[in-house]
Structure 1
Amino acid sequence: MISDKLLALRKRKGMSQQEVADAIGVTRQTVSNWELGQGSPALDKAAELARLYDVTLNDLASDEVDVVCPGKGGRTRDVHVLDGLVGKDVTVELADGEGALVHARLLSVGAGWIRLECDAPRAVFPTPIFREKEPPRRVLKLVDMADVAGFTVEEDAR
């Protein structure tokens, strides 16, 4: 949901609701309402928010893109060396013991974020409802580079 993304992105940026409101020309209450899911920003304000948070408008608006920034972020890293991994399958270790994203295809790198396509978690039920041959559903994730501990390139082709 866009409300969850707005809250996570604001916290990642280390800004208060008032600072965001001042930056895009709305009231603090408007920002609060957006983060609580009590309305959504108009297209012009959503575009300003996307620029403020260094994401694309599609990243902000699409329910198909998850924002992953479990930690408090931190220093911005020089990620140009990762350009050579674009298009490869990787495992991304998350900082602060938050786990890993395995079998993830690195789609792009930039602006402090990496864009990944990875398997969606499956529901766990007492009896399996998925056939073994059924391919997993793939989702897009936008991961804050400050929350990445490391990468492992997966050699096996999918």
Structure 2
Amino acid sequence: MIDNRTAPYAATVLRIALGILFLAHAGLKLFVFTPAGTVQFFGSLGLPGPLAYLVILVEIVGGIALIAGVYSRIVALALTPILLGAILTVHGPAGFFFTNPNGGWEFLALWIVGLIAVALLGDGAYALKPTPAATRPALAR
């Protein structure tokens, strides 16, 4: 049974935690690897280098949107392909465990589950701009 009194706060905690993770990963690309280094890394994976700029931008905007509660359901679904791409190109070949060399895909899989949970649960409490009912998944209406 779901406690309808506390569920909105649980959704908020999850939404904010996921947003912080996206900002942290964007910060890693900006301040540790640098944008130029991230572009070079994307190129080494056979991806178009400039795609790195788009990924950084999406992580920043998506992270802020999740933290603020701006169309959280839609943003959560939109961020999922970023993580799937990371699994398919970098972390998947490294195996399941994140402690493997090059990091496995277990953490990213859990992160995707969290995003799907936000998409299904909704914006939660204190959302600045909740997702309109017409664009919510059918199960969440």
TM-score w.r.t. length of structure 2: 0.30
Instruction: Tell me: higher relative CO, structure 1 or 2? Use CA pairs within 8 A at least 6 residues apart.
Output: 2
- Of Structure 1 and Structure 2, the greater helix share is in 2
